[in-house]
Amino acid sequence: MSCTSLLSLPNLPTPPPPKKPSTAKWAKPKPITCHVSTKMSSNQPPDPTSLLSSAAKLLWGASLPPGLLISTVRTAWNSTWRIMMSQLAPSDPTLAYTRPPSKFRATPNQIPRQAQTSLHLYVGLPCPWAHRTLIVRALKGLNDAVPVSIAAPGQDGSWQFSSTPIPDPNTLGPGPDNANGFKTLKEVYKSREGGYDGRSTVPMLWDVKKRGVVCNESYDIIQLFNSGLNELARNPGLDLSPPPLKQKIETWNSIIYPNVNNGVYRCGFAQSQQAYDTAVNELFDALDMVEDHLGSSRFLCGDDLTLADVCLFTTLIRFDLVYNVLFKCTKKKLIEYPNLHAYMREIYQIPEVAETCNFTSIMEGYYKTLFPLNPGGIQPVMPSGSDHEVLCRPHNRDSLSLRDKSAAALYIS
């Protein structure tokens, strides 16, 4: 029994004094010392990490554990990792990540007029798919017409709401569920008529009056915000998908979505070397192609910002912050692409776009939540190329505007 435990016991009866020995000679007993720890118990459970460290030192001292133990732990961890990854990132037979399709789809023509005034947007700030809806909502001036509730990843990775209101209403940050008052996004989905037990994803557009999910496909939502709510928008004249550019936008989306937007996830969530090699090569082939294109074009489709640019931007702004490190997209940093980085800075500097970028939430949402990819939860320092001051440096991309060059040519002639 340890001395610390003994000190916590009640007073025991004093034993009778021993009888005096007879004529036999006895050696003088050595004094018995008992070292009592000055750190008394705080009634807190022991730290398992500390216990494991103490056990390791006792067994092996300063040397490494034996090879058999390392092999056993590695096998167990690989098996556990594959189980967790199969839940986090569904894959095909080659163990390549396969993104599940969105359950609730909608087009602008499918939204009844009466429902347009009762829409509520659910987002999470780390998510690039949700970020695109925030950008189009801001550019179109729909912040008042479509209120938003912002969730944050919980310890189990699910989207959860904070009980504390955001101190500054003009700042985008995690807060309460302003439409239904629930604690988790899963509860919102389940509250729809008929219930729902599928994946509770963001972004999600909710009908407050009918209490139902309108749409949880990001591209459907930004198309709706762009052209379906102009009667409610403060900037109805802005068209991010004008008819003459629709074909170009679709062409760029067919390149960017599989290879860049989803490409970074295919790298990070790959469960085999073959799947990763395929994804990373296709990602950087696409980035190289876009880099070359942007050397002579201000935006993807010419002089005007389109939905294709918005979709590309939300991946680029996270690239050096997260994907380069956590998702192993390590061939190049975005800052090593002069045209892509300047293009990203120009979009960032468009009024109201920077306000939708919360870099703290982005980094915490990935590094602190994706346990299978970062078991220690250690968050690296923000790269200097992602500092606000760097992103606000002159981009000089207005010199690529064909419209300005044509006007200058007409003036000279």
Give the full edge-to-edge strand order of the sheet including 148-153.
Answer: 159-160, 148-153, 119-124, 204-207, 212-215
127 is catalytic: yes
Answer yes or no: 196 catalytic.
no
| CA–CA–CA angle 207, 155, 280 (5° rounding) | 85
Q: How many H-runs (helices) and E-runs (strands) does the chain carry?
A: 14, 5
CA 121/CA 115 separation, integer angstroms:
13
| Residue 290 near residue 393 (C-beta atoms within 8 A) | no
Which residues lie closer than 8 Å to 386 by C-beta, 6 or more apart? 317, 320, 321, 359
The neighbour count for residue 130, using CB atoms within 10 Å, is 25
Q: Which entry of 122, 196, 257, 265 is annotated as an active-site residue?
A: 265
Kindly tell me the burial class for residue 304, based on how many C-beta atoms sit within 10 Å of its own C-beta (0-12, 13-18, 19 or more).
middle
Report how far residue 5's alpha carbon sits from residue 18's, in angstroms, rounded to the nearest whole number: 26
3-class secondary-structure state, position 345: helix
Q: Which of 97, 122, 127, 348 is catalytic?
A: 127
Which residues carry out catalysis? 127, 265
